[in-house]
Amino acid sequence: MKQNKIGITGSIASGKSVLTAYLLGLGFPVIDADAIARDLVHPGSDTLKEIADIFGEDMILSDGNLDRDKLGKRVFSDEDARNRLNDIMHPAIVSAMLDLSENFHGLVFYDVPLLFEQIDDIKESGLEFDAIWLVDADEDVQLARLMARDGIDEAYAKEKIASQMPLEEKKKLATVVFDNSGDLMNLYNQVDDALEALPGENM
């Protein structure tokens, strides 16, 4: 059976993980780019060593794990540093996603936080999506979620949101847009409708 690849993405703190958790609960395979990224930088890994060589040994905690907060702050305001990190991580992540995808057939979902920002690199690596689902939320809801999730103040949260591709641009590129500003049942109903609209052989 042909594999139907659907990419899932969303702006920061839009609630994308809630949608993917729902899909997993329905029994659909979800390949998680963030989970792959975490695995790539496990203590002692070649990827972690490369990050330390470029950004400094202080990026590694005393227990051997990556100091994600420190690295995140380093690359957040430095585009060159961010690009260098992406050059390390993105090809390895896409390669791992392609390897994992060989275990599935039919409908497969790919959870990729910065899908639109990385779409050219993803395509060049050989991964093409048949559709892209975007999770959206009102800005005030998104801001409140981000502040609560990361324990940061409003100013820094707004900077994080502003650093990503504008939501309106993402909406133009998405196949389906889900509004996750309300309760969970509302989101689940939207997902159910989108699933029902897919070709029958994918269900």
- Asked if the structure places residue 140 within a domain, the reply is no
Quote the pLDDT of residue 71.
94
Q: Domain span at residue 59?
A: 43-103
Tokens of 2: 């042909």
List of the chain residues with pLDDT < 50: none
Tokens of 175: 């196949």
Residue numbers in the known binding site for ATP are 13-18
- Tens digit of each residue's pLDDT (9 = 90 or more) over 15-41: 999 999 999 999 999 999 999 999 999
The single-letter code of the amino acid at 189 is N
- Asked if the structure places residue 87 within a domain, the reply is yes
- Asked if the structure places residue 143 within a domain, the reply is no
Question: Residue 103: exposed, middle, or buried by beta-carbon count in 10 A (0-12, 13-18, 19+)?
Answer: exposed
- Asked if the structure places residue 51 within a domain, the reply is yes
Quote the pLDDT of residue 202.
58
- Asked if the structure places residue 78 within a domain, the reply is yes
Residue numbers in the known binding site are 13-18
Rounded CA gap, 164 and 176, in Å?
A: 19
Number of domains making up the chain: 1
- Asked if the structure places residue 49 within a domain, the reply is yes
- Asked if the structure places residue 114 within a domain, the reply is no
With a threshold of 0.85, does the pTM exceed it?
A: yes
- Asked if the structure places residue 118 within a domain, the reply is no
Quote the pLDDT of residue 203.
53
- Tens digit of each residue's pLDDT (9 = 90 or more) over 32-73: 999 999 999 999 999 999 999 999 999 999 999 999 989 988
Strands (E), 41-115: 107-111
